[in-house]
């Protein structure tokens, strides 16, 4: 009997020694639930191609043995794989190590943030657990894993590729305004038009053009303006009257030409603009002349602020410098005629025919405008391709071919056109379209660089930037760029940012009745706690796309509603 008691005592003592030898690791493992380890978000959610966790809890009072070291590692586990977040270490007050010290008596809160790259295998059917390894001296112990959160929500990946390309605009004007000029020179102190003046080449050209206008419906005379001058050596009062008479007489010459061409003009057609003496013109001609003392002459004349005295001095100088009298002053006694006219372009109906039957006779502006007269994308494409062929150095036709191809979902061909247009000119709208190409190719940083160069290309640029920000997980920036629009992606980013009511309003105003739109409406309803709307919109989504049934069954967005599923 005594022998048996001794054996029992020895076994008990050995067991106690073993437990004490583990230094409280067993107790810490047993009481690990008191850490109240929690993770946010719960469930996890992908953001910017990463799955971030914010882990927090507290080592309670008298929990952390003074000589113990623990290493905690959150691990995301799924069938066939796992990925570990960074390890975080803690140690007791008397432990030898370099981790954060946890007081035994008071305990201490802990927090931890880290992220790992997302892989599709993580979606829905994964689990996050906290693995803890404890040690005291040479002894180590693996704690039972602490479950933290189920799965990974992938709602951000519902983003739709609705990038907005921008067309290049035309500068088409159906009516273009032009002018033709002619000059009539006069004798000293005379407003009489000398016969030889109307036979000069410029005046003969004006008369010929007036006859051309009479014969062409597309050429319409709109008026004249005659700037008339006198030379500065005459009397001021006489010069002012003389300039008016010269203007009127020059207009009479044009009136005779118009009458001869059997044309009629409206009242107010003829415009007189008498300028008086032409001192500025005198200075310009003097400066351009070869007169030896021209600079001295001008300085002397500019000393006279009184115009009457300056006129007298010009007369005196002209007697000495015959070139002034014979070459300079006669050129100032003139009427400068500006004949204004419009060229009226083709009508819309004419353009719709010509852009297809004979595009080579049209200007680039006419071709670009003609494409806007058609609704069918193939018609537009044909015209823009003609524009590119006829005007290969104008980037707009090239860019617009890319735009139409993009709208026809021929994304690779469109990208090639945008790149070609960008090589011709880095215009804002082309930079926007190159940003789309970069995002399509997965280069988000390059896309943002292109969009930064697209200022002036319109609201599409901001929207396209918003798509990049959604993918980067920067939801506030996405909303600031896209917030004024009502689209699937606008609703998506709002619900991701916690604005369920704003997301619902965006979807309601979007007019989107697609399967994926109803699926997003179901997510918005789930986050808003509306079970009836969850079931309704999921039913609508699955009716339009049966593949969404399996997705909904596994989607953690609907984890609280699966018991109500009836599809």
**pLDDT score of 484:** 87
Res. 319 pLDDT band, cuts 50 70 90: confident
Domain with 140 in it: what CATH number?
A: 2.60.40.10
* 338 bridge partner residues: 181, 225
pLDDT tens for residues 439-471? 999 999 999 999 999 999 999 999 999 999 999
- Is residue 140 helix, strand or coil? strand
pTM of the model: 0.79
What's 97's DSSP letter?
S
3-state SS record for 514-552 = CHHHHHHHHHHHHHHCCHHHHHHHHHHHHHHCCCHHHHH
Our CA angle for 508, 510, 515, nearest 5°, is: 85
Residue where a domain stops, chosen among 306, 322, 343: 343
What torsion, rounded to 10 degrees, do the Cα atoms 163, 168, 173, 178 define? 150
Judge if 214 and 354 occupy the same domain: no
Of 230, 184, 176, 173, give the one whose Cα is nearest residue 338: 184
**133 is in which domain, residue-wise?**
25-153
Residue where a domain stops, chosen among 430, 460, 490: 460
Judge if 35 and 146 occupy the same domain: yes
pLDDT tens for residues 182-198? 999 999 889 999 999 99
Domain count along the chain: 3
**pLDDT score of 289:** 86
- Give the up-direction half-sphere exposure of residue 4: CA atoms within 13 A in the CB hemisphere: 1
Which H or E run includes 479? helix 475-482
Judge if 355 and 448 occupy the same domain: yes
Q: Is residue 550, in this structure, part of any structural domain at all? A: no
Kindly tell me if the per-residue pLDDT of 5 is higher than 90: no
Judge if 330 and 349 occupy the same domain: no
Q: Is 334 exposed, middle or buried (0-12, 13-18, 19+ CB in 10 A)?
A: buried
Lowest pLDDT segment from 243-247, 483-487, 557-561 = 483-487
Q: Is residue 310, in this structure, part of any structural domain at all? A: yes
Contact 316, 304 (CB under 8 A): no
* 220 bridge partner residues: 342
Round to whole Å and give the CA distance between 399 and 394: 9
Q: Is residue 379, in this structure, part of any structural domain at all? A: yes
- Is residue 124 helix, strand or coil? coil
Average pLDDT over residues 42-59: 96
Round to whole Å and give the CA distance between 532 and 544: 19
**pLDDT score of 22:** 42
Quickly count: other Cβ atoms within 10 Å of residue 11's Cβ: 10
């Amino acid at each position: 009997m005594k022998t048996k008691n001794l054996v029992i005592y020895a076994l008990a003592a050995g067991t106690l020694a073993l437990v004490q030898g583990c230094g409280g690791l067993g107790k810490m493992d047993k009481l690990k639930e008191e850490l109240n380890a929690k993770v946010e978000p719960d469930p996890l959610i992908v953001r910017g191609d990463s799955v971030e966790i914010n882990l927090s809890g507290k080592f309670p009072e008298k929990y952390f043995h003074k000589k113990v070291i623990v290493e905690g590692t959150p691990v995301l586990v799924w069938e066939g794989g796992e990925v570990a977040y960074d390890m975080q270490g803690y140690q007791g007050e008397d432990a030898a190590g370099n981790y954060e010290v946890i007081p035994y008596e008071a305990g201490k809160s802990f927090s931890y943030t880290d992220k790992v790259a997302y892989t599709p295998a993580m979606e829905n059917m994964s689990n996050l657990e906290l693995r803890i390894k404890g040690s005291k001296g040479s002894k180590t112990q693996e704690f039972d894993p602490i479950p933290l959160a189920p799965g990974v929500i992938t709602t951000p990946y519902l983003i739709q590729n609705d990038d907005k390309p921008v067309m290049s605009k035309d500068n088409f004007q159906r009516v273009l305004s032009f002018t033709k000029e002619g000059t009539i020179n006069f004798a000293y102190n005379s407003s009489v038009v000398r016969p030889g003046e109307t036979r000069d080449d410029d005046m003969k050209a004006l008369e010929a053009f007036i006859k051309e206008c009479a014969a062409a419906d597309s050429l319409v005379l709109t008026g004249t303006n005659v700037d008339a001058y006198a030379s500065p050596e005459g009397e001021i009062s006489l010069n002012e009257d003389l300039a008016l008479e010269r203007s009127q007489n020059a207009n009479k010459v044009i009136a005779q030409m118009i009458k001869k061409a059997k044309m009629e003009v409206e009242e107010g057609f003829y415009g007189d603009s008498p300028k008086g003496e032409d001192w500025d013109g005198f200075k310009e001609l003097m400066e351009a002349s070869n007169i030896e003392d021209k600079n001295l002459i001008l300085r002397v004349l500019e000393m006279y602020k009184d115009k009457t005295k300056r006129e007298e001095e010009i007369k005196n100088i002209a007697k000495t410098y015959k070139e002034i009298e014979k070459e300079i002053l006669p050129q100032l006694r003139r009427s400068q005629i500006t004949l204004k006219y419009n060229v009226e372009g083709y009508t819309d109906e004419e353009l719709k025919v010509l852009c297809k039957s004979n595009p080579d006779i049209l200007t680039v502006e006419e071709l670009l405008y003609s494409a806007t007269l058609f609704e069918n994308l193939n018609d537009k494409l044909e015209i823009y391709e003609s524009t590119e062929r006829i005007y290969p150095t104008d980037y707009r036709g090239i860019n617009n071919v890319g735009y139409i191809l993009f709208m026809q979902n021929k994304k690779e061909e469109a990208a090639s056109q945008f790149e070609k247009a960008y090589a011709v000119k880095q215009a804002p709208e082309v930079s926007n379209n190159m940003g789309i190409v970069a995002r399509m190719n997965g280069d988000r940083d390059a896309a943002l660089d292109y969009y930064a160069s697209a200022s002036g290309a319109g609201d599409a640029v901001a929207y396209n930037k918003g798509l990049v920000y959604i993918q980067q997980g920067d939801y506030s920036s996405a909303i600031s760029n896209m917030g004024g629009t009502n689209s699937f992606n606008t609703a998506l980013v709002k619900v991701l940012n916690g604005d369920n009511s704003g997301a619902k309003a965006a979807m309601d105003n979007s007019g989107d009745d697609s399967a994926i739109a109803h699926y997003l409406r179901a997510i918005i309803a789930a986050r808003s706690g509306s079970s009836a709307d969850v079931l309704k919109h999921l039913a609508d989504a699955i009716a339009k796309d049966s593949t969404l049934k399996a997705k909904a069954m596994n989607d953690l967005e609907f984890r609280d509603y699966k018991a109500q599923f009836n599809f």
